[in-house]
Amino acid sequence: MYTDPRVGDFINERFVPVRLHVKHQHDDFEHVGQRYGALWTPTILILDEGGEERHRIEGFLPADDFLSQLMLGAAHAAFRRNDYAAAEPLFTRVAEQFPRTEAAPEALYWSGVSRYRTTHDASALKDTARAFSQRYQSTSWAKKASIWQ
């Protein structure tokens, strides 16, 4: 997952990376793992600067899926600190650059919410619902957005 240069560049740009190996950092692996309920490897957590978990990835993912999840997590973290201007382009990037990943419909949903929070314009939600009428119709995110039609 980490050998793809896009992944490395995104991590270096956005994160302080911590690796806890089950053998080489055994005590910290156990201690931090218990604190966050990390029960399997690989488990990747995205924490804000206060140590609050904002996103979790469990299990191996191919590069596109992994990178889209990292972007999704960074976007969620921005959303949680009410920084919608930072969140929205990241959500949109996931939806546009990685449309075939599991992260894409979730990102599409939250990009609409972020745009609405920024503009207070209900058309942002309507446009999102309309987009879901053309793709990802079977996902829970499309169902959640359907109320905005």
User: Given the rule CB under 8 A, which residues bind other proteins?
Assistant: 2, 5-9, 11-12, 14-25, 28-29, 32-33, 36, 38, 40-51, 54, 70, 73-74, 77
| Beta carbon nearer to other proteins, 48 or 102 | 48
Question: Least separation, in Å, of the C-beta of 97 and other proteins?
Answer: 17
What does each C-alpha distance from 45 to 70, 98, 110 come to in angstroms? 9, 21, 20
* Number of Cβ within a 10 Å radius of residue 41: 14
Question: Least separation, in Å, of the C-beta of 112 and other proteins?
Answer: 23
Q: Which residues contact 69 (CB under 8 A, 6 or more apart)?
A: 44, 55, 57, 61, 101, 103
| Beta carbon nearer to other proteins, 5 or 147 | 5
Question: Least separation, in Å, of the C-beta of 146 and other proteins?
Answer: 32
User: DSSP 3-state assignment of 144?
Assistant: helix
